[in-house]
């Protein structure tokens, strides 16, 4: 077992700073009374960047019921010949998830990939020390690749940087990507996988800054190991794309310092750096949903801070190369994150991290998707954490699947946010969030507020191929419908193809297997098209408005 869990570590480190933080915990929050519309000017030539489809990836960890029961369940009435749940595969396929991170997460830092390949009868059952769970290894590298290809997703492989060596990492690349004629490629072929898997994207470890992580090491040491592993991996396959482990989040005492030190050692050898973050309506927001609706601005801030440190190392090195950001764990997660929710007690497929998502969580997830879109120039990869049963949009029981509330904003991003993110400068009223309280994972450092927060958070995507423009709008105002005036500069829409919203009277409403359609998208009356359009956004809503020109 780990000597210190993530939660214990944060609790301990937080005690010192807590008193200081408490005095400035919640700042003044005033509400601008203006009912004036928000004005958005759209000009298709004002482009941020093409949105990389990998930005709407997801994540599957050997954790709780994500893999076992969720994805792989030979006993299920839905199982195919491989033991994969066909109902879950159909959902994931329909969503069109482009890339899926696997096999962890904290799990990966104690995972021996060799235990999960070869004849199933010979695979050992081991204790996963990250989540205190029995791991049967009946699902491993080859099963994941087979499953991912069937659902149309690309694999993003996590590497064990806890108990694993740089040589182990290179061996896994060889097992997956070399065609034939070497020890590890021949092993794959002997396992029945004649063709190489060609795995392009790799995470060089997971949250190695965290004392809760198996094999946690200081930044300099990790940076050196990452550089060495990257060179060994590229010697095996020069085409791989490698993501170094960035900070686990701004709550870490080593935030930014970790990223800087790591990149000083491995900047030249990697292609991207990771960011992680989970949000919640907690003490940080004073359990105030109005403040909670502004929390995607914390994602904007984190992205901009990591861009700043990454580019400062680049300047220091006079490097011609720019790294991309991989926000490869992001979601709401604050309820199921202590006690039995994170401890498997040595059982197989226990119920862990089974967060139930409500309407307000879905609205924030929509806002977070907006934040990723408006940073399309640097965030080229991201993963909603996670996909099935564990902090997930999709839940399963023996009779089928359930779409949680957060499924819908995620599905809209996957369906409509293809093309180029446009640069917008919405003008409109807002409200004040002067400071925030103590984050759930805080070490007691004060957290700045956001100042004036716009009622409407708007992003726009232009799809040149389809001649379609799509707007994604979070109306943060919990009490009032808000109006948006859209002024088109160089295009005039001829038809509104979609206008849907997630809203409802109860911010805490959830979907359950007994009542699965309580929080689902509703169709809104389509606005009249023209060079200036007026649109009404319901109170407490996240909406998608798509038009063709
Ligand atoms: O996604 C759940 C856990 O959160 C992951 O295993 C870990 O990387 C993070 O702390």
> Is the pLDDT at 504 greater than 90, yes or no?
yes
Note the pLDDT tens digit of each residue in 137-195: 999 999 999 999 999 999 999 999 999 999 999 999 999 999 999 999 999 999 999 99
* Mean of all residue pLDDT scores within the chain: 94
Note the pLDDT tens digit of each residue in 45-73: 999 999 999 999 999 999 999 999 999 99
Q: Is 206 in the pocket of ligand 1 (CB under 6 A)?
A: yes
Q: Quick one: which of 224, 210, 208 has its CA closest to 159?
A: 208
> Is the pLDDT at 401 greater than 50, yes or no?
yes
> Is the pLDDT at 225 greater than 70, yes or no?
yes
Q: How confident is the model at residue 442 (pLDDT cuts 50, 70, 90)?
A: low
Atom 7 in ligand 1: residue holding the nearest Cα: 105
Tokens 């004073």 identify what position? Answer: 286
Q: Is 61 in the pocket of ligand 1 (CB under 6 A)?
A: yes
- CA of residue 177 relative to chain centroid, distance: 26
Q: Which residues contact 297 (CB under 8 A, 6 or more apart)?
A: 371, 450, 453
Q: How far does residue 210's CA lie from ligand 1's centre (Å)?
A: 11
pLDDT of residue 384: 98
Mean of pLDDT values over 379-391: 98
d(CA 284, CA 286): 6
500 catalytically annotated: no
> Is the pLDDT at 406 greater than 90, yes or no?
yes
Q: Is 385 in the pocket of ligand 1 (CB under 6 A)?
A: yes
d(CA 389, CA 354): 6
Q: How far does residue 105's CA lie from ligand 1's centre (Å)?
A: 5
Q: How far does residue 86's CA lie from ligand 1's centre (Å)?
A: 26
pLDDT of residue 438: 83
Q: Which residues contact 465 (CB under 8 A, 6 or more apart)?
A: 419
> Is the pLDDT at 465 greater than 70, yes or no?
yes
Mean of pLDDT values over 509-529: 98
Mean of pLDDT values over 246-268: 96
Note the pLDDT tens digit of each residue in 120-143: 999 999 999 999 999 999 999 999
d(CA 357, CA 363): 10
Pick 371 or 448 by higher pLDDT. 371
Atom 2 in ligand 1: residue holding the nearest Cα: 105
pLDDT of residue 5: 56
Q: Which two tokens stand for residue 530?
A: 């023209």
Atom 9 in ligand 1: residue holding the nearest Cα: 105
Q: Is 207 in the pocket of ligand 1 (CB under 6 A)?
A: yes
Burial of 339 (0-12, 13-18, 19+ CB in 10 A): exposed
d(CA 416, CA 409): 10
Mean of pLDDT values over 232-255: 96
pLDDT of residue 62: 98
d(CA 86, CA 70): 10
Q: Is 477 in the pocket of ligand 1 (CB under 6 A)?
A: no
Mean of pLDDT values over 327-334: 98
Could you tell me whether strands 324-332 and 379-384 are parallel, antiparallel, or unpaired per DSSP bridges? parallel
User: Which position among 91, 135, 329, 360 bears the catalytic label?
Assistant: 329
User: Which position among 143, 207, 283, 441 bears the catalytic label?
Assistant: 207
pLDDT of residue 294: 98
> Is the pLDDT at 31 greater than 70, yes or no?
no
Q: How far does residue 104's CA lie from ligand 1's centre (Å)?
A: 7
207 catalytically annotated: yes
Q: Which residues contact 280 (CB under 8 A, 6 or more apart)?
A: 332, 333, 334, 335, 440
Q: Is 441 in the pocket of ligand 1 (CB under 6 A)?
A: no
Could you tell me whether strands 272-279 and 241-244 are parallel, antiparallel, or unpaired per DSSP bridges? parallel
């Amino acid at each position: 077992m780990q000597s210190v869990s993530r939660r214990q570590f944060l609790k301990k480190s937080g005690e010192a700073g807590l008193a200081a933080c408490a005095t400035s915990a919640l700042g003044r929050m005033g509400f601008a009374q203006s009912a004036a519309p928000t004005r958005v000017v759209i000009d298709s030539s004002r482009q941020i960047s093409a949105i990389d489809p990998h930005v709407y990836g997801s994540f599957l960890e050997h954790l709780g019921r994500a893999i076992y029961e969720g994805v792989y369940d030979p006993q299920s009435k839905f199982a195919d010949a491989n033991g994969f749940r066909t109902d879950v595969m159909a959902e994931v396929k329909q969503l069109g998830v482009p890339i899926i991170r696997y096999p962890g997460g904290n799990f990966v830092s104690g995972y021996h990939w060799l235990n999960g390949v070869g004849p199933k009868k010979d695979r050992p059952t081991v204790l996963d020390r990250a989540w205190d769970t029995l791991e049967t290894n009946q699902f491993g590298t080859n099963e994941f690749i087979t499953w991912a290809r069937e659902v149309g997703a690309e694999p993003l492989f996590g590497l064990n940087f806890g108990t694993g060596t740089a040589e182990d990492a290179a061996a896994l690349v060889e097992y997956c990507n070399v065609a034939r004629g070497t020890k590890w490629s021949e092993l794959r072929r002997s396992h029945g996988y004649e063709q190489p898997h060609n795995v392009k994207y790799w995470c060089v470890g997971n949250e190695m800054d965290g004392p809760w992580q198996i094999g946690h090491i200081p930044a300099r040491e990790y940076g050196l190991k990452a550089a060495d592993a990257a060179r060994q991996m590229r010697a095996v396959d020069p085409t791989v794309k490698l993501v170094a482990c960035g900070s686990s989040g701004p709550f870490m005492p080593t935030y930014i310092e970790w990223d800087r030190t790591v990149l000083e050692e491995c900047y030249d050898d990697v292609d991207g750096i990771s960011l992680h973050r989970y949000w919640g309506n907690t003490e940080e927001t004073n359990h105030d949903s109005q403040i909670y609706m502004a929390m995607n601005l914390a994602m904007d801030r984190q992205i901009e801070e990591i861009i700043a440190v990454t580019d400062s190392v680049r300047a220091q090195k006079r490097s011609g190369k720019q790294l991309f950001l991989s926000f490869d764990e992001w979601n709401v997660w604050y309820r199921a994150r202590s006690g039995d929710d994170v401890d498997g007690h040595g059982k197989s497929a226990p119920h862990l991290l089974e967060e139930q998502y409500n309407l307000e969580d879905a609205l924030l997830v929509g806002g977070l998707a907006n934040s990723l879109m408006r940073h399309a120039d640097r965030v080229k990869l991201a993963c909603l954490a996670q996909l099935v049963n564990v902090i997930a949009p999709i839940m399963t029981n023996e009779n089928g699947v359930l779409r949680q509330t957060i499924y819908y904003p995620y599905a809209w991003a996957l369906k409509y946010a293809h093309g180029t993110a446009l640069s917008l400068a919405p003008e409109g009223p807002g409200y004040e969030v002067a400071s925030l309280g103590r984050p759930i994972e805080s070490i007691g450092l004060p957290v700045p507020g956001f100042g004036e927060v716009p009622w409407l958070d708007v992003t726009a995507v232009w799809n040149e191929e389809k001649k379609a423009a799509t707007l994604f709008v979070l109306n943060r105002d919990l009490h009032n419908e808000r109006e948006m005036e859209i002024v088109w500069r160089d295009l005039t829409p001829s038809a509104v193809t979609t206008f849907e919203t997630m809203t409802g009277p109860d911010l805490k409403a959830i979907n359950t297997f007994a009542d699965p359609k309580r929080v689902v998208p509703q169709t809104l009356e389509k606005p009249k098209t023209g060079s200036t359009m007026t649109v009404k956004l319901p109170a407490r809503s996240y909406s998608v408005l798509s038009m063709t020109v």
